[in-house]
Amino acid sequence: MEKDRNNKEPLILGLETSYRICGVSLTRGEKLIAELNIDAYRSHTEKLLNLIIDLLRYAEMELKMVDLIAVSIGPGSYTGLRVGLSTAKGLAFSLNRPIVGVRTHLVLAYPFRNYARWLCSVIPSKSGEIYRVYFEFRNGKCKKQEGMGAIKLEEFYSELKKKKPAICGIVDGLDLNYLENFVGCQFLSKKGSFPESYYVSVLGYEKYLAGDFSDIITLEPFYIKDFPDRK
């Protein structure tokens, strides 16, 4: 597929199903056209396709106009990720369009890429562990990541005392008062934050510009154990 198709920025359909909030978005390059989010706790299968239909109707566009499918690949909800990825693959195949997968930690961090150089993007687990990734941003671009993996909560608090990054992501289960007042970490996300489909599209656009497309056959969800919404 040529990047300069019709001399326009690509129309990107972004799908975010890694968490209980199911989101879909349409962007022209980085410019948001429309976005819809619903609480689809354990019901992504029933709601995702209808949400896409509603999005296209609201934006007064047709599915065949989409140039790229971007989808979150986790970590996240076991069922949600499979529903999102299978839907994205089906659309990409039927439309003969490229597909890109985007990691959820980066989706959570991206809204804050200009607020701090070092960000710690977090997702909690039922077992009390924290799955975290540290990102270094420069001029709004991710230049480095480290520390990807699960860690016990007490070890995470000790780790933060040394690194003191700004924290973003799904902060449910974290003692925000303790971390702000005794560890000295700044919170950029508040309780209730969730991955947004708009940033799935934006990150998909970056991959589009770089020609970094995913293989529709081998693209798979990225799981961690005991994610909060695992079914």
Range of the domain at 20: 5-105+194-210
Nearest to 194 by CA among 15, 40, 20: 20
Q: Would residue 76 count as lying in a domain?
A: yes
For residues 100 and 216, what is the distance between their CA atoms, to the nearest angstrom?
9
Indicate whether 148 and 45 sit together in one domain. no
In a domain, 170, yes or no: yes
Average pLDDT of the chain? 87
Q: Residue 225's pLDDT band (boundaries 50, 70, 90)?
A: low
The 10s digit of each residue's pLDDT in 147-168 is 888 889 889 888 888 888 889 9
On whether both 61 and 35 belong to a single domain, the answer is: yes
Query: Does any domain span residue 93?
Result: yes
Residue 106's pLDDT is what? 95
For the chain, how many structural domains are there in total? 2
Contact yes or no for 15/69 (Cβ under 8 A): yes
Same domain, 139 and 28: no
> Strands (DSSP E) along 153-201, which ranges?
166-169
pLDDT per position as a tens digit, 73-130? 988 888 889 999 999 999 999 999 999 999 999 999 999 998 878 899 999 877 778 8
What's the pLDDT at 140?
85
CB–CB of 152/128 below 8 Å? yes
The predicted structure's pLDDT at residue 3: 44
Question: How does pLDDT run across 10-24, given as a tens digit for each residue?
Answer: 999 999 998 888 999
Here the CATH number for the domain that contains residue 165 is 3.30.420.40
Q: With contact defined as beta carbons under 8 Å apart, do 46 and 53 qualify?
A: no
Q: What share of the chain is helix, strand, coil (3-state, %, to 5)?
A: 35, 30, 35
